[in-house]
Amino acid sequence: MMMEHHRIKVRSLKSLAMSRKNDIDRVWDIVEKVGVCMLTTQFAGGLRARPLEARPDRDAGLIFFVTDIRSPKEEEIKARPDIGLAFIGSSDKAYLSITGQACIIRDAEMTRAAWRKTDEVWWPGGPADPSVCLLQIDPSTAELWDGPASSVATAFEFAKAKLTGKKPNLGENRKVTVKM
């Protein structure tokens, strides 16, 4: 009897570990697919958000942004490194919020690795431009909402809710802790 209970517990731990891995993979899939997100920083007057293009490094567990060292966000991050990122994958109704710690990186090789041809619009001098830097985000917590994959499914859920008086099933809110 005791042996049977132990096997169930081990199976449950394996299932939990697999589920956690799938959730973390889903977070990285959204970051990679969506690309552009809103980065929120803190300043003396409150919070400030702006769009940036993410350069995720799934293997390192980090997200990078190529940005300008003269931007107010760099000073805000130096003063308060806790940030928020918001990704919206409208095609598959995926909403992702990430909190983490940001730091500014001034490293030509790392910038070159993250560089994309489109960055030359902002920095014609390329990755060696003295005004270019990287923001490195070390994610600590991710919260995602996966909704129905189509607007037809969403419309169906709202119609069903109206008829039944029950809340529409618009997806599951799953909170995933990403430890690096």
Residue range 90-116, pLDDT digits in tens: 887 788 999 999 999 999 899 999 999
- Please give the single-letter amino acid code of residue 65: F
Whether residue 130 is contained in a domain is answered as yes
Domain encompassing residue 26: 18-177
pLDDT at residue 18, as a whole number: 66
Mean pLDDT within 115-128: 92
φ and ψ of 35, to 5 deg? 80, -65
Evaluate whether residue 11 is within a structural domain: no
Q: Is residue 113 part of a domain?
A: yes
Q: What is the model's pLDDT at position 153?
A: 64
Domain membership of residue 24 (yes or no) is yes
- pLDDT value at residue 93: 77
1 lies in some domain: no
Please tell me the total count of domains within the chain.
Answer: 1
User: Is 93 within a domain?
Assistant: yes
In a domain, 4, yes or no: no
**Could you read off the pLDDT of 68-91 as tens digits, one per residue?**
999 899 899 999 999 999 999 888
Instruction: Mention every residue, 6+ apart, whose C-beta is less than 8 A from residue 80.
Output: 41, 42, 43
Mean pLDDT of the chain: 84
- Select the more confidently predicted residue: 141 or 169: 141
The domain that holds 104 is classified in CATH as 2.30.110.10
